Amino acid sequence: MNTLTNGQFNELRGVTRGEILQANDAGYDDARAVWNAMIDRHPAIIVRCAGTADVRASLAYARNHQLRLAVRGGGHNIAGSALCDDGLVIDLSRMKSVQVDPERRRAWVEGGATLRDFDHEAQAYRLATPLGINSTTGVAGLTLGGGFGWLSRTLGLAADNLLSAEMVTADAGRLQVSATEHPDLFWAIRGGGGNFGVVTRFEFALHPVGPQITAGLVVYPFDQARSVLQQYRDAVATMTPDLTVWAVLRKAPPLPFLAPQVHGQDVLVLPVFSPSPSDAVDAAIARIAKLGEPLGMHVGPMPYAAWQQIFDPMLTPGARNYWKSHNFAQLSDGAIDVVVRYAGNLPTSQCEIFLGLLGGQAGAPPPQATAYPHRDALYVMNVHTRWDDPADDERCIAWARDFFADATPYASGGVYVNFMPQDEGERTSDAYGANYARLAQIKATYDPDNLFRTNQNIRPASPAAAAS
């Protein structure tokens, strides 16, 4: 436990204008709560930064007093990287500004903004950039890990649409990074996670999207899951990039277009999304609906911002969550068999297995174009284990790990860094593949002492390796 004197605490108060919280302060427990209730950490200090100056002062303070450091954006990371025990948390959650230039199609986004904050401002001008699938997710963590969602097949990853960033580095210096300013660091933050500094502001390219898009759900009975997934795989091969269809296996939620007796039953759900108007994709969606005999479907025009929030009720904070993830370059019959077998034995009603479809523009750049290397990943599978009672921890985690092990022979070996839980530090090299060595060299340049290590950590290269 780090023990600091009142004078040392007052030193920090004197150089920041944001709120500073310690244990026993009102609001401390709320400030250390994150999306995943399995994360229960007790920082010595939480600084709710009011601006970049606070970030620089807090970082310098942590370094000077040899405090462990964590950075909180949206607090949504499955591994709980937003918090650390006994150290200092740079909390960006009050830095939520989103500024849009509709003429230039640019957005400037502070490090604490969520997807909902971003969409609210950008959709006022019928603009968007590729982000995730849950509106409470932080823009920062999503983008730094690569970031994919409903628009990625059409417009690429969040990191592909990042134009520049304002950063505070380990020496508390402020840098502007882009393709022409510190290009090595700009390359690294497009997928390299929070290993290289605190990004206080992002600049994104915007694209015309909405306000109406085409989206909805097609729900199949579980006894058709294997057949439908096989046909779905075949349909993907001819699917245009303006259509995205994921596959989700779970208990049926109480959707109004499903008969009451279906609620709570095992089902296969195909979420369908296109930024195009419905008349442009109706024929393709009709083919999806004929992969089996649906229990029900509801697909049509809806506001883009509404679709971005549609899964929020199933992803509320406060539950216990454990994830395991694989990338698949193809969906073999063997992989489908494993998915269906485990989906028929979900440990709780909140659990699900999803296959997020990529390809299209997400797969267009070469692997070395950004730190995110997995351009061959056509499907990103997430085993989303979710429950409420701590007594179920062992059972639920064991189910996820068994599933992961049985699916491994069919996977590509890569993993999306934002889906890695806290016990998967040994897989960090899998998240970066051939890009890891370059990332370690850049880490040695900008963070040689590994100050930013409360994450899926990229260790600084040795001096000899960095020099080479």
Omega of the bond prior to 271 within 30 degrees of 0, cis? no
Q: Going residue by residue through the chain, which has 468 residues, state the pLDDT in tens, using 9 for 90 and above.
A: 455 666 677 889 899 999 999 999 999 999 999 999 999 999 999 999 999 999 999 999 999 999 999 999 999 999 999 999 999 999 999 999 999 999 999 999 999 999 999 999 999 999 999 999 999 999 999 999 999 999 999 999 999 999 999 999 999 999 999 999 999 999 999 999 999 999 999 999 999 999 999 999 999 999 999 999 999 999 999 999 999 999 999 999 999 999 999 999 999 999 999 999 999 999 999 999 999 999 999 999 999 999 999 999 999 999 999 999 999 999 999 999 999 999 999 999 999 999 999 999 999 999 999 999 999 999 999 999 999 999 999 999 999 999 999 999 999 999 999 999 999 989 999 999 999 999 999 999 999 999 999 999 999 998 766 555
Is 467 part of any domain? no
From 74, 91, 108, give the residue that closes a domain.
91
Q: Which of 171, 288, 312 is nearest to 228 (CA)?
A: 288
From 39, 72, 91, give the residue that closes a domain.
91
From 68, 91, 114, give the residue that closes a domain.
91
What is the rounded distance in angstroms from the CA atom of residue 285 to the CA atom of residue 282?
Answer: 5
- Reading the block at residue 170, the tokens are 């380990």
Q: In which region does residue 55 sit, left (phi positive, over 0), alpha (psi from -120 to 50) or beta (all else)? A: alpha
Range of the domain at 169: 98-208
What is the rounded distance in angstroms from the CA atom of residue 462 to the CA atom of residue 468?
Answer: 10
CATH number (domain holding residue 189): 3.30.465.10
**Are residues 50 and 104 both part of a single domain?**
no
Is 308 part of any domain? yes
User: Residue 389: enclosing H or E segment and its boundaries?
Assistant: none
**Are residues 13 and 69 both part of a single domain?**
yes
Residues of 89-109 as b/e, b for ≥16 C-beta within 10 angstroms? bbbbbebbebebeeeebbbbb
Instruction: Map residue 144 onto helix, strand or coil.
Output: helix
**Are residues 197 and 233 both part of a single domain?**
no
**Are residues 220 and 367 both part of a single domain?**
yes
**Are residues 316 and 410 both part of a single domain?**
yes
Instruction: Map residue 48 onto helix, strand or coil.
Output: strand
| Residue pair 278/301 in contact by the 8 Å Cβ criterion | yes
The number of helices, as runs of H, and strands, as runs of E, in the chain is 15, 19
Instruction: Map residue 255 onto helix, strand or coil.
Output: coil
Is 428 part of any domain? no
| Domains contained in the chain, number | 3
What is the rounded distance in angstroms from the CA atom of residue 377 to the CA atom of residue 415?
Answer: 9
pTM as predicted: 0.95
